[in-house]
């Protein structure tokens, strides 16, 4: 038996609540992720911009210092072969040629090597005239070509001071353009170390000067093993070598630690100035903010979840209360059967379904025989007990056949059975009559001395026409006939008699 259709109320809202709650929580998490990612990018951009500024500034400073030394070397290279210069006394000649070089910070000895690599002039007396440097790269590179320009050597330890230095050299050409020697000067790397240390770019950060072939010239913080280290094989260095300047996050070419790396070429020289910013302090602040916001959002999510659960429970209670109220509204309080209100709703629903499916529908109208006299003899409480007993048998018989038993009022009952034709409906009625009689409830004025019932049966096909009230009127007419014939019996109204009834 199909229950009457009722519009959904709170059940649908309760079913949608978990999905809505999940959607809200996902939205909160997405907003948090978006905001924290934006903050993280902002920190990276600030660190990158700071690194770019420092790298460009330091590259410019290194370039200016090297440029000063290069000016001195160019002057020496151009003037060395002049007859007037060569005609001067060696001491006066050296004083004139090398005076400017001595004034620049970080500069060491400036020397002139002849075509065989021997010292023939110098800015100080630290090196003996005639010392052979023909095996050094800063000499050999010019002996073999005219297109080198300013050459920056790999770092090496000075034999005189023990400091790490680099040599800068230029070719000296004779009057005929042939190779006549080299003008070279040295730059003390400790000077660059002081320059780098003054930057104070943060813990676990580093400033490094590379040659474009990947050789480390110097690095701050200074580690002796880093000097002359070849670091040109990794992706990070290749990226620095491929463009003039830029910033990216990657692994350090030297220690492999992940940092934000800003780099800048040093003028037109084969040098790269790199600044590696760890950003742990800045990102630590980001992590603190992220943790604080995550904590607040966790509390918010827990609050939303708690409210959702509380609302779900409340909706569940209200839904259950509504369901119970709906059940009670359609239930007879004395017998627990469906009441007249529910019977009318179910009858209309089943009549419509039977018409659509072209199926029969049977209605049994039932009345307790001589019930008024039973009440007069035994009282109303005993009469209520009899009604409950009859209701129990009718309900069991109806449920077993897919039907519905209802109490319409007083001692009157109805049983509605879908898909049941005349013949089967009469058999069902007889079974119900016999079941009540088998209760053997004593009734001195009843048929055979026990409580009995009379039943009127009507069955029809709604698809043939008519309305549901025709079925009720037919069953009522049949019941009237059963009582007129002596009670405790079943009578059926033929299907073609519904209209007449």
246-280: b or e for each residue (b if 16 or more CB lie within 10 Å)? ebeebbbbbeeeebbbbbbbbeebebbbbbbbbbe
Which of these, 447, 125, 445, 69, lies nearest to 267 by C-alpha position?
Answer: 69
Helix, strand, or coil (residue 54): helix
Q: What is the pLDDT of residue 330?
A: 81
Q: What is the pLDDT of residue 62?
A: 85
Q: What is the pLDDT of residue 64?
A: 86
- The pairing of beta strand 216-220 with beta strand 206-211: antiparallel
Which of these, 420, 311, 344, 335, lies nearest to 384 by C-alpha position?
Answer: 335
- The tokens describing 25, both together, are 């929580």
Domains of the chain: 7-329 (3.30.450.20), 340-497 (3.30.70.270)
Distance from C-alpha of 327 to C-alpha of 264, rounded to nearest angstrom: 82
Which of these, 449, 441, 304, 470, lies nearest to 383 by C-alpha position?
Answer: 441
Distance from C-alpha of 128 to C-alpha of 146, rounded to nearest angstrom: 28
Q: What is the mean pLDDT of each run of 10 residues along the chain (501 residues)?
A: 47 66 80 73 59 79 84 83 76 72 70 91 82 90 86 88 89 87 90 84 85 93 91 90 90 89 91 83 63 81 82 80 74 92 93 94 96 94 95 94 93 95 94 96 93 95 87 94 94 64 45
Distance from C-alpha of 388 to C-alpha of 343, rounded to nearest angstrom: 18
């Amino acid at each position: 038996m199909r229950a009457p259709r009722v519009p959904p109320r709170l059940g649908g809202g309760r079913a949608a609540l978990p999905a809505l709650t999940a959607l809200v929580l996902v939205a909160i998490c997405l907003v948090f992720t978006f905001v924290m990612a934006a903050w993280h990018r902002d920190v990276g951009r600030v660190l990158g911009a700071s690194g770019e500024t420092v790298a460009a500034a330091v590259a410019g400073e290194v370039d200016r210092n090297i440029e000063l030394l290069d000016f001195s070397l160019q002057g020496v290279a151009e003037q060395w072969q002049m007859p007037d210069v060569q005609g001067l006394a060696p001491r006066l000649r050296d004083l004139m040629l090398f005076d400017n070089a001595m004034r620049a910070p970080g500069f060491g000895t400036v020397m002139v090597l002849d075509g065989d690599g021997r010292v023939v002039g110098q800015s100080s007396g630290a090196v003996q005239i005639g010392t052979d440097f023909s095996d050094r790269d800063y000499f050999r590179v010019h002996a073999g070509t005219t297109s080198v320009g300013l050459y920056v050597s790999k770092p090496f330890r000075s034999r005189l001071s023990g400091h790490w230095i680099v040599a800068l050299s230029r070719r000296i050409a004779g009057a005929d353009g042939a190779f006549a020697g080299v003008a070279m000067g040295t730059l003390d790397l400790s000077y660059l170390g002081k320059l780098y240390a003054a930057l104070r770019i943060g813990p676990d950060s580093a400033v490094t000067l590379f040659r474009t072939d990947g050789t480390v010239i110097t690095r701050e913080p200074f580690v002796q093993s880093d000097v002359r280290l070849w670091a040109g094989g990794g992706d990070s260095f290749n990226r620095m070598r491929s463009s003039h300047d830029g910033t990216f996050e990657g692994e350090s070419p030297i220690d492999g630690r992940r940092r934000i790396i800003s780099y800048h070429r040093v003028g037109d020289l084969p040098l790269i100035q790199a600044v590696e910013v760890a950003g742990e302090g800045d990102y630590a602040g980001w992590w603190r903010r992220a943790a604080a916001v995550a904590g607040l959002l966790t509390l918010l999510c827990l609050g939303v979840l708690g409210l959702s659960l509380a609302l779900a429970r409340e909706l569940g209670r209200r839904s259950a209360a509504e369901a119970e109220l709906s059940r009670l509204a359609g239930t007879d309080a004395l017998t627990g059967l469906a009441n007249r209100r529910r019977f009318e709703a179910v009858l209309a629903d089943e009549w419509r379904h039977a018409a659509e499916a072209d199926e029969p529908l049977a209605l049994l109208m039932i009345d307790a025989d001589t019930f008024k006299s039973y009440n007069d003899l035994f009282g109303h409480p005993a009469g209520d007990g009899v009604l409950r007993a009859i209701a129990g048998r009718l309900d069991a018989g109806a449920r077993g056949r897919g039907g519905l038993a209802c109490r319409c009022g007083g001692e009157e009952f109805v049983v509605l059975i879908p898909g049941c034709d005349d013949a089967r409906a009469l058999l069902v009625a007889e079974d119900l009559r016999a079941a009540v009689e088998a209760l053997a409830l004593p009734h001195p004025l009843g048929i055979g001395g026990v409580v009995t019932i009379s039943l009127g049966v009507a069955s029809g096909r709604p698809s043939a026409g008519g309305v549901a009230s025709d079925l009720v009127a037919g069953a009522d007419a049949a019941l009237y006939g059963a009582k007129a014939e002596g009670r405790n019996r079943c009578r059926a109204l033929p299907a073609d008699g519904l209209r007449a009834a």
